[in-house]
Structure 1
Amino acid sequence: MRVAFVHTDFRLYWPARVKALDEFLKEKGVTLSVVEIAGKGSPYSFDNVSNKQLFLDWCILFPDEAMEQISPDKAVRAVIDKLNKIKPDVVFAGAVAFPSGAAAIRWCLLNRKPVIIFDNARLEDVPRAFYINWAKKQLYRLVDAMLIPASSHVSTFRYFGLKTEQLFFGINCVDNQFFSDQANIFSSLTVPHNHPYLLAIGRQVRKKNWAKLISAYIAVRKTDPPNPFDLLFIGDGPEHDVLMNASGDEINRSIHFLPFKSQQELCVYYKHAEGLVLPSLYGETWGLVVNEAMASGLPVLVSGKCGCAETLVKHENNGFVFEPEDQTLIADVLEKFMSMSHKQRKAMGEISKNIIDEWGFERFCKGVWKAIEFVCSENKRSGTLSGKIISNFWNGRYNPT
């Protein structure tokens, strides 16, 4: 059996996932092929890992182009041509809204092969007009199974018409062992910051809500809390200068900005941090930095709008969940966290580590395998006439957030 994974790009978290999956499937006698559309660009363009060094059967269709430079029609035709050469028995692809998902659905329909879509976007993450959701429902009737993060996302794909037995969990995991091991390896290295600090890692874009976090943080620091910490930003983006200005007199005193770091470098910062905060307002389909922080043994302060909050964060046990729209509520959580001792925060971090223990690559591999077993035991979904017509014309769109 040959299984293909197709998406816009497979960067950052994906190479290690795919490597683990390749080893897992080989033991099952299954060959894995990876098809990546664009070799440049993406929100994670700072990640420079060479995929081909990690995995041999890995094809980048347009290695020197960003997805924004490739028309959806061109991308879909290239994916279909590649799948015709690979001739997979099962195809996994990114969301139906993207060219990868559109191409996979069309090819699998024409070739009577099962297609499994991996997606982590909930309805509230990407609000759409009713007619767009109707069209997506027609496309989803051509999908044989889904790989999604957790039960928190089930209602979204039930809304789109999939049955519970078609939904499998496993996407949105990180290399837990890496972060746990690296934290121990780097434990004796120099602390990367002179004062206790709270990490704020991610792209500096409006939806992350960093500006409101800064305002709440400054307000709490003015109350002279018993166990204060600095706020350490790691990342970059179009909001960077806005955030620097919002920090005012606290810039380089208690609020600090660092550029993007590799995952190896991040391990040092995780190891010595008091915790991690992610205050996103919208569109945070999961929040994998939370997985990383928890695997490193940190408590996490997470917006209730983040896809991971319901599943990974147990309020006042391994962290705090808060409403991100209200600066006062963010400040309340920061104040509670600053009133805790280092020992209390450490205890929270141990709970984090226990929770995230089941979210390593084994979860991803098992979810993929269960989905494969399911689609191979079922008849290919025939869908509706309207779905087939839409599939024939829909080439997807690329709208990075």
Structure 2
Amino acid sequence: MRAVILYPKLGPLHAARLIAAHRYFAARGNQLECIEVASEQSDYPWRSTTELPELTLRTLFPNRDYRRLKRGETVRAVHRAMSAKAYDAAAIVGWAMTESWAALAYCVSRNVARVCITDTQYGDNRHFYKPVVEQVKRIVVRAYDAAFVGGRSSKRYIVELGMPEAMCTDGCDVIDNAVFASVEPDFTPTSLRFMTAARLIAVKNIPATVQRLARLEMPWEWTIAGHGSEHETIERVAAACGVRDRIHLVGAVDYANLGPHFAAANVYLQPSTSEPWGLAINDAMAAGLPVLASTQCGCQEDLIRDNGFTFDAHDAPSFVRAVEAAWSARKRWKQMGSASRTIIANWSLERFARNLHEACRLAVERRRARWSPWITNPEPRAPGSSSAKH
């Protein structure tokens, strides 16, 4: 099986996943290649990934900003890249981007098996025309053969849109947990020291969270790593609430340098009103931190157990209760941090590699079944069944 995976722009997280997946594919006599649309993306200032050991990587627009590409040139470039080799399966990230539509259209026209990589959940991006969007998504999902999802929430959603549950695997949102394995958080229980790594945009819900924290009596401070359009708003709200000295906006921090910020914290906080998964929570758990996460974070169902607390991002009392619970549990922070590391160990690069491979295998089998009248069983069995091929 020769498979290709298509990304808008690669960052350090993608590189680690792809290297692991390439090796997993190769160990089973298969091939995995990668197409990157552009080497730059203005709203995600990641360092460019110019080389991936052993893996064939093609960047369609070197030194171009992904956000400034024209649709026509993207479509043409994707079709040229896809037609350069005979692929058995294509793993396509998302369903709303130009390159996703272009790759899907190419695969449909050439009968290439296709895997939808998505961590979208039902509650993301609510708007008045959502029923129309949902209907369009159902049509799109029918064009895919399998799905590689984030976790339970995104799996439920794509199954509701029409993807057979047996055609879904999870684990598309993982990190290299070893990056933060040496971090030792300071669990001195004198105050709550929150840490958040996020783009400073509206859905991260930071200004409202500052206002809620300002009303609490227990000692706290909050370090926020990231950049974005909400920076000045956060500063203004913090000053108005009289807590500017407790809010530490450290700006964009290179991924490799997040460790010291995790080490200085004792609780990770993710208050987003919309978050398909929440990869920074993976980072924090790998660093051994307890977690406070909104129920709007797609990962909370899979990752938050006895290692933290959840709250409704739209409900101030819910948030206050979660913070108070975290403060009351301060003597157990170290134990909760250890639980974080134990839980996140199951969401690893190996899981990504294994389940991407399985999704591609399922897609190829389903595509053959759909187009081969002599195959009597139109749907392959679920992963783990006795007759499934591995």
Task: Let me know the Cα RMSD of the aligned residues.
Answer: 2.3
Partner of 2:258: 266
Question: What is the one-letter code of the residue matched to 1:57?
Answer: T
Partner residue, 1:213: 209
Match of 1:388 in 2: none
Correspondence 1:321 to 2:284: no
* Alignment correspondent of 1:333: 322
1:234 and 2:225 matched: yes
User: Which of structure 1's runs of 4+ aligned residues deviate more than 6 A?
Assistant: none
**1:371 maps to which residue?**
359
8 Å CA contact 2:192–2:327 kept in 1: the answer is no
Q: 1:75 to 1:49 in 2, by over 3 A?
A: closer
Q: 1 CA distance for matches of 2:28 and 2:370?
A: 28
Q: 1:195 to 1:301 in 2, by over 3 A?
A: closer
In the other structure, the counterpart of 1:358 is 346
CA 1:63–1:195: 2 relative to 1, 3 Å: farther
C-alpha distance in 1 between matches for 2:370 and 2:237: 54
Alignment of 1:145-294 (within 5 A): 145-180=146-181, 182-183=182-183, 197-220=193-216, 223=217, 225=218, 228-248=219-239, 249-251=242-244, 253-282=245-274, 284-294=275-285
1:303 counterpart residue number: 294
Partners of 2:58 and 2:367 lie apart in 1 by 29
TM (norm. structure 2) is 0.87
Separation in 1, partners of 2:312, 2:191: 28
Deviation readout 1:135-192 (Å, 9 max, x if unpaired): 2222221111000012222221122211111111121111112221x426xx8xx99x
The residue type equivalent to 2:134 in the other structure is N
Alignment correspondent of 2:145: 144
Alignment-derived partner of residue 114 in structure 1: 113
- Structure 1: gaps spanning 5 or more residues: 384-401
Is the CA contact (8 Å cut-off) linking 2:22 and 2:55 kept in structure 1?
A: no
Q: Please give the secondary structure, in 1, of the residue aligned with 2:4.
A: strand
Gaps of 5+ in 2: 372-390
Q: Is the 8 A contact 2:151 2:298 kept in 1?
A: no
Q: 1:53 & 1:361 partners in 2: Cα distance?
A: 15
- Specify which structure has the bigger relative contact order, considering alpha-carbon pairs within 8 angstroms and separated by 6 or more residues: 1
TM-score (norm 1): 0.85
Kindly provide the amino acid, as one letter, of the partner of residue 77 in structure 2: A
For residues 37 and 196 of structure 1, what CA distance do their matches in structure 2 show?
42
* C-alpha contact (below 8 Å) 1:229/1:338 kept by paired residues: no
CA distance in 2, matches of 1:232, 1:345: 18
SS where residue 379 of structure 1 aligns?
helix
Letter in 1 for 2:329: M
CA displacement at 1:214 relative to structure 2: 0.7
> Which residue does 2:18 correspond to in 1?
18
Q: Which amino acid aligns with 1:205?
A: I
